[in-house]
Structure 1
Amino acid sequence: MTWSATEVLAIVEGMSRKTPIDWDAIATVAKNRIITTRELDDLGVPRKTVSDRTDPGGPWRRLLPGVIQLSTGHLTTEQRYDAALRYGGPEAVLTGISAARLGGLQHLPEAAGVHILIPHRSRCLSSRFVTIERTRRLPAPDCRAGFAVAPLVRAVLDAARRFRELDEVRALLAEAVQRGLVKPELLKKELEEGSGRGTRLPRMVLDEMLANVHSAAEGWAFRLAERSGLPPMQWNVRLLDSSGKLLGIPDGWIDEVGLAWQIDSRAYHLSPTSYDATVQRHSMMTAAGIIVVHTLPTQLRTDPDTVLEQLRGAYRLAGHSAHEG
């Protein structure tokens, strides 16, 4: 094939002509100074410009495959979220600890990375600080702080499934439930409908919650009571006298013999007022013929066998008293 002089001149002129880059358009797309190489292509940025700017010493930085930070400074939390979602694709959704934090939870462990959900058909893989979870149950996202975020029920359980310590799961679910952000029944429903991976600890905690157990210490007591051989306990029951006056709300209660189990946090004993209230509640329950067992949280962890002996002995005593009455 032979090129004419006119055609050659047109090609040379086209190669030498530089197309101006629309930096305002780039700034609009890269709201957190995060953008993908595909978006730069669409905006007409030459690939050589991208390559030059992301070379060592350049003003940009490659964060993830196909994702670029338009600066080299410290990566903010928002930039990490933005980069993760752009990397995951247009249907990606934040979940886990990141989404739980955006959903309003405060007492969370520091997340080592950003956990996102993507459609099961996608072939995107985890990379650097992004943990990819492919799912057939991609939730309709909420929008929080400008990011696509899984509903809090899903986010909390996605985080809990990756915890390895029971008390971490207790703390996470307890904050979400006690602050009224989620309902334990909805957590249970989500757990039943979702993936079975990593659900053992969340199931244990939800069993406690649905039994009206409110704290980690009560959770330890709940597990101990399960292997005590005693009748099932009720938890956090309001005890009233014959006139309707509140006697107390013991952590554990066996109604058939009138046995109350109180888990005494050391925090109460640091406050004279709280300690006085504890003593008064004990006196009122005892005066009403209730046998009250007091246990420190540390005893549940360090000497559970002794606690069981005390609990069983108190049950026998309460049963004897009830029989005599």
Structure 2
Amino acid sequence: MNHNTPLSPRPLRHLSDVQQRVMTTAHLRARGVSTADINTQCRPGGSWQQLLPGVFLLRPGPATIEERLHAVLMYAARSPVTEPAVPTQPGAGAGEPAAPQGYDDAMITGLAALALHRFASAPPLLSLDRVDVLVPRLRRLRSTGCVRIVRTPGMPEPVRISGVPVAPVPRALADAVADITDAGVVRRLLTEAVRGNHCEPAAVVRELTNARLLSRPHVVDAVDSLLAEGRAIAEDRLYRLVTEHGLPDPVWNVDLRLPGGPLLGGLDAYWPDHAVALELDTRAPRQDDDAMWSEYARKREHLERLGITVVHVTPKKLRDSMEQQATVVRTALMASGDRDPAAYVVVLPR
């Protein structure tokens, strides 16, 4: 704060340090600063500067990354930073905040969000000429300065990173990829999302589908690489599930066939002595999702009619609850002794 400007005595302890340096016109007026005072402070050589329309940095010199991000959010948010309210609880001090500070209906997305999520393949925040900010579709805002407004019919739940609301990785990826034409960059971003354990491939593909980006050949190629990477990671976790949790060794990656009959389908793991099959569901939510799911369901029903128990596991479950999935497999193996013998099937390497 510049001590030459008369601010009201209302306390600022509900604001973070950066929110005491970056304020909107409304915040300044609420503290007794007139429009004339603001204009005076923002003259060339003055103590303040205007970062965006209606958003000011109350000190000279270049804005830091943190100040820039908060300025973007203050410009875009419906109700940026909670103001102090009259306390309603007995004994509460005057001017205490009514709620935690935050930004309504605005969050950082795109490359800036990926940088905040610590993506090595995303450009550093300092190098970005603009910051994408996600807002509801009906908000009346325009892109200006370093701010690019990205609209959505439904706002995702933000992730808080150092007090900044940030779009979850799948949504941030979709918003970033929408403006990238370099196939290599797109592939690196999508692959890192899975390799860095930020999210599952299905979540990324779902957002890319919603954004109508799968009509672009370079995005489709990157998605194929993403799915292959996700499949390899899921298979590695499946191997770990068996070895680290003391399960008997299955036969891996096999096809089952009735003797002299049709092919029953491929499996990721099969325990012949127990007639227990395990299948990884690595489907991506594309346009043929319903057809693929129908195929999964038909195969499962056929195997179970033959007396084979099918355990269905998703990559997300392997990542988030491996021990629980090991218990599911172990229970199926132990229960095999109580079932009628399964039909004889031929096991073939895939």
Q: Name the TM-score, length of structure 2 as normaliser.
A: 0.52
2:202 aligned to which of 175, 185, 192: 185
1:73 match: secondary structure: coil
Change (3 A) 1:85 1:117: same
2:122 match: secondary structure: coil
- Structure-1 separation of matches of 2:190 and 2:200: 10
Q: Tell me, yes or no, if structure 1 residue 108 matches structure 2 residue 122.
A: yes
Q: Tell me, yes or no, if structure 1 residue 147 matches structure 2 residue 161.
A: no
Residue 202 of structure 1: CA displacement? 2.9
Change (3 A) 1:213 1:120: closer
- Structure-2 separation of matches of 1:150 and 1:160: 14
2:108, 2:132 within 8 Å by CA — same for their partners in 1?
A: yes
Which runs of 5 or more structure 1 residues have no equivalent in the other structure? 1-18, 216-237, 239-243, 245-325
After superposition, the CA RMSD in angstroms is 2.8
1:162, 1:198 within 8 Å by CA — same for their partners in 2?
A: no
- Structure-1 separation of matches of 2:114 and 2:51: 24
Q: How many residues align?
A: 199
1:128 match: secondary structure: coil
Q: Name the TM-score, length of structure 1 as normaliser.
A: 0.56
* Structure 2 residue identity aligned to 1:164: T
- Structure-1 separation of matches of 2:49 and 2:214: 35
* Structure 2 residue identity aligned to 1:99: A
- Structure-1 separation of matches of 2:219 and 2:75: 29
- Structure-1 separation of matches of 2:128 and 2:215: 19
1:60 matched residue in structure 2: 48
- Structure-2 separation of matches of 1:120 and 1:42: 29
2:133 match: secondary structure: strand
1:97, 1:108 within 8 Å by CA — same for their partners in 2?
A: yes
2:190 matched residue in structure 1: 173
- Structure-2 separation of matches of 1:153 and 1:44: 43
1:45 match: secondary structure: coil
Q: Return the structure number with greater helix share.
A: 1
1:26, 1:40 within 8 Å by CA — same for their partners in 2?
A: no
1:46 matched residue in structure 2: 34
- Structure-2 separation of matches of 1:163 and 1:196: 14
- Structure-2 separation of matches of 1:117 and 1:158: 9
1:79 aligned to which of 60, 67, 70: 67
- Structure-1 separation of matches of 2:215 and 2:128: 19
1:108 match: secondary structure: coil
2:148 match: secondary structure: strand
Q: What is the 5 A alignment of 1:21-40?
A: 21-22=7-8, 25=11, 29=15, 31-32=17-18, 33-40=21-28
- Structure showing greater radius of gyration is 1
1:62 match: secondary structure: strand
Q: Percent identity?
A: 32
Which runs of 5 or more structure 2 residues have no equivalent in the other structure? 78-103, 233-238, 240-249, 251-350
2:224 aligned to which of 207, 221, 237: 207
Change (3 A) 1:206 1:152: same
